[in-house]
Amino acid sequence: MIIRHTLRVAGPTMGVVVMLTACSSSSPPATQQTARPRSACSLLTGGEASTAFGGPVQRPQQCRALPSNQSDALYLVGGPVPGAVQVDVAWGNKQVTTFTVSHSGHAHYVDQGGGTVTPPQYADVTVSGVPAYWQVSPAPISGSPSARSISVLAKGYVVILTSTGLTQSQDERGLASIINHL
C-alpha cells in the first residue's frame, strides 16, 4: 500500500495546476481524440513485462478504472534489484489537450498554496517512433531520487509510466511494449 501511495502522488503537476490557454494551436488533432477506454492492466503481458523490466514481474496489481477516463495498474518487479512500475493510461479530449499543452510551452502553472511555482522540466526522447517526455524536475515522487517518470501521447492515449528501482532503458522498453498494445 505504501508503494501504491508513493507512486500515486507522482505526476508532472504535483501540487501544481496546469491552466490551459485558449490557443487554437494547443488543441490536439482529431485523430488523437478518438481513443476508447482501456485497462492499464491489459497493456503489458507477463512475458513482455519480464523482458522489458529485466526480472520476474508479478501480475499487475491494483488494477482500477478511475473517474475522468483513466485507469492504472501497479507492476512489482523482482530480481536482484526489485522495483515498482505504475502505469497510468488516460483517454479523452481533456486528457489529450492537457498533455499537449503541458509539453508545448503554452501552459501556465499556478501554485495552489500561493508560493512560487517552478514548471516541470522535460527531456525529449523517442520511444517506438513516438515523442516521449522524461520528467527531469521536479522529481516525480518527492524524496525519491531513484523515481523516474516518462509520458507519451500515442494513438489517442496519454500514458505515464512512473518507476522506482529501474533504469531508464528498462522504463523505455516497458513503454515501447505498451505503445505497441494501444
- The domain locations on the chain are 2-181
This prediction has a pTM of 0.78
- The Cα 5–Cα 48 span in angstroms is 25
Q: CATH number for the 2-181 domain, one of 3.40.50, 1.25.40, 3.40.1000, 2.40.10?
A: 3.40.1000
The pLDDT score that the predictor gives to residue 114 is 65
Check residue 115 and give its pLDDT. 66
Say what the pLDDT of residue 107 is.
Answer: 77
Rounded to 10 degrees, the C-alpha dihedral 141/143/144/149 comes to 20
> Cα separation of 73 and 42, whole Å?
9
**Which parts of the chain sit beneath pLDDT 50?**
1-33
State pLDDT tens for residues 31-43: 444 688 999 999 9
